[in-house]
Amino acid sequence: MKKQILLYGVLALGALMTTSCDDILDKEPLDKFTDTQTYWNNTSNVDNQCNDFYNEFVAYGNGGGAGWFYFKTLSDDQAGNSFTDWDFTNVPASSGYWDFSVIRHANKVIDRVTTSTLTDTQKANYIGIARMIRAWEYFQLVREYGDVPWIDKVVDVNDNDILYGPRTDRDAVMDNVLEDINYASANVTTDGGATEWNRNMANAMKADICLWEGTYRKYRTSADNGKAADAAGATKFLNACVDACNYVIAQGYKLNDNYQANYNSVSLAKNPEMIFYKPYKKDIMSHSLIDYTCSSTQLSGMSKDAFDSYLFLDGKPAATTSYSTDDAGTLDSLNHLNITAQLAVRDKRLNATIDSIVFYPDHTWIRPSVGTGMEMSSSTGYGVKKYDNTSLPLIYRSTTGADYTQAPIFWLSVVYLDLAEAKAELGTITLADLYKTINLLQKRAGLPNLTLTPDADPANNMGVSNLIWEIRRCRRCELMFDNWNRYWDLVRWHQLDKLDSSVHPNILLGANVSKDTSLGTTIAVKNGYLDGSKGMTRKYESKHYFYPVPSGQITLDPQLTQNPGW
């Protein structure tokens, strides 16, 4: 999810959108600036240094590159157009994930601003931005590798004890991350808008980080994660999450009436839900997300497992609903399977996320307003329409690197999900909490209110209470295909084994095509459902909870050591 360079560098976000492209592109590269005290006494120069951090928020990607949404098919939500295995099956010699360059940059900003002649308020804001980014980067590294070297100062090239030191215990690193994000959430300016650094964004980030760490510490095991559960640590982080969420909610954000509009709008400027977003701009800065989800290249479709997770309008799952659960659809005059009626009785987010026509090899379909020559096929039959905007001119939807819909990064519904889950895990959640969080999302989805004692779902295979299961369900459906969330949710819940397709085959199956009597032998079907496995199986091992440390790094620094199982 990291290390993709923005197409137009620091043009990325709104603080700079009023500056011409030529002015920005003519700027000297940040690694070539004159590093003098006079330089750091100038707020414009420090702004320029902090603007470089915007590059870490990839969102929908840049140009033809992939981003944080839709593309990551290593989850139980999608089957890829080719088989998707674990990120690592062998120890690599090098990896872009093991990267401390942004942390070094943040440390330099902190160091130089501290000794500058800026006002105390200005210093606190800039240091807060840098500490926020340092927290964000270390959060990613710890999720990926566990123990990592903690470096919080500018390192001299001759300081071998630091440059070639051991990995720091991951709990200690995350305690430092909490200190950093606490500082940021109290000191970053409140003046920045939703496309600039701002205190609300810092608190939304704090909520995400602290929910992840709190639940990770609660559910981890010594056998799989190298450390036993830490109840006290979990409580500390979950309470920090609650505090951050309450701060953001108090700022007056409101849910946007249109769920899909959070993802497919050409402007999010007036969306009352947005805390921080990436403002792509027509013909200036663009992405390819729409093109990749409405093209002749096979889509990475929704899995049967994900489809089955959506409740019916009576608020019940398939096992207990009063509605018909037949999801096979009906054959239309063109021999396409139409599931409009099936979508009409489900959580409204499902209809906003996938197409009403099931399409697959030899049974392709053209989405309205896409045009001829763009026959679409999905790996599971379920197409992904969540990000598409049919009002855009066709050339901007179907050309790589031309899409310009704007991307949410931190937004209110995620804060609601964070708060409800944190309080449920703490055992302090009340009915009033549900009504100001989850039930607002339920209402938008056309579902009944959730209670503190929901009925049991026979599909609950995570060993958690009925309430926590339903909160997790709501999170999954609300953030469907926001894939950098789902994989890491499974990690923090200690549920990564759910990605083993030999045990959970529904994660690679797709739509029910049992009514299609014209299926050829080239179409893979299992028990009446499209098979998106490509004939392969993904096997889980506990070592997958951590990425392997690149062998080249261990050669350079033998003190680093390798993660278990690799």
| pLDDT tens by residue, 356-398 | 999 998 899 998 877 667 789 999 999 999 999 999 999 999 8
162 pLDDT tier (thresholds 50, 70, 90) = confident
Q: Which of the residue ranges 27-36, 73-82, 259-268, 538-547 would you say has the lowest mean pLDDT?
A: 27-36
User: What does the buried/exposed string (b/e) look like for 423-454 if buried means 16 or more CB atoms within 10 Å of the residue's CB?
Assistant: bbbbeebeeebbeebbbbbbebbebeebeeeb
Q: In angstroms, rounded to a whole number, what is the distance separating the alpha carbons of residues 76 and 483?
A: 10
User: How many CB atoms within 10 Å of residue 357?
Assistant: 23
Per-residue model confidence (pLDDT) at position 220 = 98
Write down the pTM of the prediction.
0.93
H helices within 427-560, ranges in order?
431-435, 438-444, 466-478, 483-492, 551-556
* pLDDT confidence of residue 23: 28
Alpha-carbon distance of 86 to 204, in angstroms, equals 29
Return the closest-CA partner of residue 425 out of 488, 479, 477, 472: 472
Confidence band (pLDDT; 50, 70, 90) for 72?
Answer: confident
Q: What is the Cβ-side half-sphere exposure of residue 380, based on CA atoms within 13 angstroms?
A: 28
DSSP 133-202: HHHHHHHHHHHHHSSB----SPPPTT-HHHHT-PPBPHHHHHHHHHHHHHHHHHHS-S---TTS--HHHH
Q: At what angle do helices 120-145 and 199-219 cross, to 10 degrees?
A: 30
Q: Which residue has the higher pLDDT, 230 or 520?
A: 230
Q: Which two tokens stand for residue 399?
A: 């050309």
At residue 2, the pLDDT reads 36
Lowest mean pLDDT, pick from 263-267, 294-298, 510-514: 294-298
Helix 466-478, helix 412-426: angle, nearest 10? 160
Least confident of 247-261, 392-406, 449-463, 489-503: 392-406
Q: What is the mean pLDDT of residues 156-164?
A: 86
Q: Tell me what the mean pLDDT of segment 39-60 comes to.
A: 97
> What pLDDT does residue 31 have?
53
Helices (H), 300-437: 304-309, 340-344, 348-353, 394-397, 412-426, 431-435
Domains of the chain, each with CATH number or no CATH: 191-279+406-451+469-474 (1.25.40.10)
**In the chain, pLDDT over 90 holds for what percent of residues?**
86
pLDDT at position 350 over 80: yes
Calculate the CA dihedral of residues 206, 209, 215, 220 and round it to 10 degrees: -150
Q: What is the mean pLDDT of the chain?
A: 92
Q: How far apart are CA 117 and CA 45, in angstroms?
A: 13
pLDDT value at 405 more than 90: yes
Is the pLDDT score of 26 beyond 70?
A: no
Is residue 74 within 8 Å of residue 500, measured between CB atoms? Answer: no
pLDDT number for residue 371? 67
pLDDT at position 335: 86
Say whether pLDDT at 301 is over 50.
Answer: yes
DSSP assignment of 308-328 equals: HHSPBTTS--TTT-SS-----
Q: What is the mean pLDDT of residues 409-435?
A: 98
Tens digits of residue pLDDT in 100-140: 999 999 999 999 999 999 999 999 999 999 999 999 999 99
In sign, the C-alpha dihedral spanning 29, 35, 40, 41 is negative
Cβ atoms < 10 Å from Cβ of 337: 25
Cα-flanking dihedrals φ and ψ of residue 100, to 5°?
A: -110, 15
How far apart, in whole angstroms, are the C-alpha atoms of residue 212 and residue 234? 10
CB count within 10 Å of CB 266 equals: 17
**Percent of the chain residues topping a pLDDT of 70:** 94
Neighbours of 361 (CB within 10 A): 15
Q: Are 405 and 389 in contact (CB under 8 A)?
A: yes
Using the predicted structure, report yes or no on whether residue 9 has a pLDDT greater than 60: no
pLDDT of residue 12: 35
Crossing angle of helices 170-187 and 231-249, rounded to 10° = 20
Q: Is 99 left (phi over 0), alpha (psi -120 to 50) or beta?
A: beta
pLDDT single digits (tens) 203-212? 999 999 999 9
